[in-house]
Amino acid sequence: MPATTTLTARALLLDMDSTIVNSEAVVERCWRRWAAEQGLDAEEVLKVVHGRQGWATMAALLPDRPMELNLADNRRMLAQETADTDGVVPVPGAPAFMEAISRLPHALVTSADVPLSDARMRAAGLAMPVVRITAECVSASKPDPEGFLKGAAELGHRPEDCIVFEDSEAGILAGRAAGMRVVGVGDRAAAFAPTAHVRDLTQVRVEARADGVIALHIAA
């Protein structure tokens, strides 16, 4: 029988892109266009775009560029990404996973803004969590832990009682900086030492215990 790891928590904090929603095609299209505009190698750009807000990615790639240009490009790209949902689908296992946690304490913690998160969750056919921390809610982008700490506070749980689901280096670093355990989702996450790693959400079984504990049974 395959080995199973069990993690327990009282609340779950979920990244969106590449964690529960597969939006890789849109992200790649938009960032390849931006890379071409800037004369940058698209493959190198795509290595660092995941997990951060767009302006933070731009600042990392072009450290001498005025921030007002990054913010303007970020607004333009958010509008492009919101309008482009071609190829946006749920990560395998996400519909069943979201149904399993629908009555349990959980929040979306995403670098997307409200319109983009609305568009992608709708395109993927996933219900929006009641608690949602978006780009508008924070002053700092992942890997800063602000978003995850705000999500835990809104749910009324201590950071050490929360488990984060993330796919990116920036997100995993943010979860760890918040004092939380992290389940890494997808191939990219494996390189960044999450607490546990899954290929997708078909490997996670949720058990809601009578004492309010959420048990996550993670198949190897």
| Helix ranges, 106-186 (H) | 114-124, 146-155, 169-177
pLDDT value of position 47: 86
Paired tokens of 47: 């290595």
Least confident of 52-66, 96-110, 116-130: 52-66
Please check the confidence at residue 1 and state whether its pLDDT lies above 60. no
pLDDT (0 to 100) of residue 220: 81
pLDDT of residue 122: 97
Handedness of CA 112, 117, 119, 120 (dihedral sign): positive
What's residue 147's pLDDT? 98
Q: Is the pLDDT of residue 90 over 90?
A: yes
pLDDT digits (tens, 9 = 90+) for 20-29: 999 999 999 9
Tell me how far apart the alpha carbons of residues 105 and 172 are, in angstroms, rounded to a whole number.
Answer: 20
* Largest pairwise CA distance in the chain: 56
pLDDT in tens, 200-211: 999 999 999 999
Q: To which residue do tokens 């309010």 refer?
A: 212
pLDDT in tens, 27-81: 999 999 999 999 999 999 998 888 888 999 999 999 999 999 999 999 999 999 9
Contacts 24+ apart (CB under 8 A), 204-213: 204/93, 204/97, 205/100, 206/97, 206/100, 206/101, 206/104, 208/103, 208/104, 212/10, 213/8, 213/9, 213/10
pLDDT at position 50 is 82
State residue 52's pLDDT score: 86
Instruction: Write the pLDDT tens digit of every residue in 126-180.
Output: 999 999 999 999 999 999 999 999 999 999 999 999 999 999 999 999 999 999 9
List active site positions.
15, 17
Rounded Cα distance, 167 and 50, in Å: 8
Element (H, E) at 198: strand 196-198
Q: Is 90 exceeded by the pLDDT of residue 3?
A: no
pLDDT of residue 15: 98
What is the token pair recorded at 45?
């750009």
Position 2 scores a pLDDT of 63
User: Strand pairing partners for 207?
Assistant: 215
